[in-house]
Amino acid sequence: MRHISQRFCVGLSGEIMETSKKSISDFDPITRELKQSFPRYHRLRRLSIIITSLVALVPLFIMTFINYYQAQSSYHAESVFAISRILSNNKQTLEFVIEERRAVLSMIISQNSFEELSNNDKLKEILKDLNNSFGGFVDLGLIDSHGNQKYYSGPYDLRGINYKDQPWFKEVMIRGEYVSEVFMGHRNIPHFIIAFQHESPDGEAFYLRATIDMEMINRMFYSMNLDPNTDAFLINQVGDLQTTSLFYGEVLSKISLNFPRRFSHREVIDEYQEHGKWITLGYSYIEDTPFILIVIKHRENPFIHWFSRRTGLIWFLVVSISMILAVVIYGAGHTIKRLRELDKKRTLMFHNIEYTNKMATIGRMAAGVAHEINNPLAIINEKAGLLSDLAIHDPDLPKREKFAGLADSIINSVERCSRVTHRLLGFARRMETLKEMIDLKQLLEEVIGFQKTEIDDKNINIKYNFSPDLPSIESDRGQLQQVFLNIITNAFVAIDNGGQIDITIENTNSDKVTLIITDNGVGITEENIKNIFEPFYSTKGEFGTGLGLSITNDIVQKLGGTIEVKSEPGVGSSFSIILPIKANY
């Protein structure tokens, strides 16, 4: 009888709890609306940040791009202008220097006969006059039609040398005058010559040859005062260096630069890439010579160039963007947060209305159930009491003692069923917050007893650890029952068969007590633990409403307490409920 009554009462209470869960699940439209609104809030926040940022930042970026483009155009124009100026100035200088020496040599050979020049002292005097007047002459030589240097004035012992097979001699025989490329020759040092052909009265050709000092040309390049990214030098038409180059090496080194056909005017090739670096290259052919004047400027990285010269502007841009983004993100977050809070309050208001109605329905059902069960229980109790009295007062009753024991067992089972129905009514009752003195140990044992069937089915071990001097507290019994039931029910869900729940009650200080419910279940992740008290936030999928811990937290705060949670996935969770001994609501 005791087993049947216990299973009947507990089964009935479970039925009412399922009805409550289904009633809250019937609140699905609002639950679904709030759950579905989370992505909407994120999208709205992202959209607000993106649109506001674009409106605020696009003009800044446009102005920055315009400034960058203008700076690069200016830098390019400056580079081209600088190269043009170097080319123009030095082309004219080189042409003047070479033309001046060509002209004076032409005058000497035209005004003097072979006999007049056929004197070493005469050549020496002419060389001295040339260097005093113009400078840059190393030596002079008079060569006959067979290529033999008959007379010579200079620092080298070159009298008697035959130049018949030399390229420059062949050129001057054909052209009548010739400015050579730089070559090593018999001197074994880089030099170039200017040579003229003339005929004697008897028709015999002779040649005046002058060697030009390369130091004079080099000094001209040194005097340009070029920056480290700029180089100027001479090459011939096959790419041999005629002067030393900062970028390409020593005289007569081979370099590979491609140029179009010969032009008399200056040319500039922009954006020429060499070994992965962009350069601005200018070139100009020196008239009546084999020389090409080259000016190369290594272009800086456009962004680095702009960055180095616009540091103040860039810092202003970075600070402005940071401030704008900070204000936009904060403003959008604050606005969406307020909107979310308003939606949450609206949803909670509807939930409270619905919850009140459902709990009222549960209360009415519980009252009806209690009435229907308590009346038969009263009759059973009376009949069992009568049987007990008969057994006691009738000494002739067969098996009198066994009969009295059975009657007492029936009475005890009836009392147990009555306690279960009273606990069910106490839990289901929804009323204003009350104050009464509560023994937490007794209240917890009642809540655990209410779930005894599930404890037995899952073989759960409940371990109590109560302080011996634990005081009674002033609070609301029904609402504390709901708090403890919600947390313990969650613990049952989290643990496996054979799991353990530890319940500890201890004095925190003179005016508070702390109740700790610890399980060894699956635990809660750090991401979820931040949201477990949010309304309608559930990790149980379609089986959870997300209201249990939210309602629990609201009740604890309304009773003047606080609730804290610690959890580690795979280890378990611990809920600490701190309650005041004296009610302050």
Q: Are residues 161 and 230 in the same domain?
A: no
Q: Are residues 438 and 584 in the same domain?
A: yes
pLDDT digits (tens, 9 = 90+) for 37-54: 677 778 888 888 888 888
Q: Which residue has the higher pLDDT, 501 or 24?
A: 501
pLDDT digits (tens, 9 = 90+) for 299-354: 776 666 666 667 777 788 888 888 888 888 888 888 888 888 888 788 777 766 77
pTM: 0.48
Quick check: is 100 in a domain? no
Q: Are residues 441 and 575 in the same domain?
A: yes
Q: Are residues 168 and 244 in the same domain?
A: no
The answer on pLDDT for 541 being more than 80 is no
Domain ranges, residue 169: 112-212
Q: Are residues 447 and 542 in the same domain?
A: yes
Quick check: is 76 in a domain? yes
Among 255, 273, 306, the domain boundary falls at 306
* 49 vs 327: CA distance, rounded Å: 10
Residue 20's pLDDT band (cuts 50, 70, 90): very low
**What is the structure's pLDDT at 60?**
82
Q: Are residues 180 and 266 in the same domain?
A: no
Q: Are residues 14 and 67 in the same domain?
A: yes
Residue 4's pLDDT band (cuts 50, 70, 90): very low
Mean pLDDT estimate for the chain = 80
* 87 vs 282: CA distance, rounded Å: 7
* 368 vs 84: CA distance, rounded Å: 106
Q: Are residues 517 and 494 in the same domain?
A: yes
Among 212, 242, 275, the domain boundary falls at 212
Q: Are residues 295 and 423 in the same domain?
A: no
How does DSSP assign 324-356, residue by residue? HHHHHHHHHHHHHHHHHHHHHHHHHHHHHHHHH
Q: Can you tell me which residue has the tokens 């190369």?
A: 296
* 138 vs 131: CA distance, rounded Å: 9
* 550 vs 536: CA distance, rounded Å: 8
Q: Are residues 166 and 202 in the same domain?
A: yes
The encoded tokens of residue 275 equal 């070994």
- How many independent structural domains does the chain possess? 4
Q: Which of 19-33, 44-58, 415-429 has the lowest mean pLDDT?
A: 19-33
Quick check: is 217 in a domain? no
Quick check: is 299 in a domain? yes
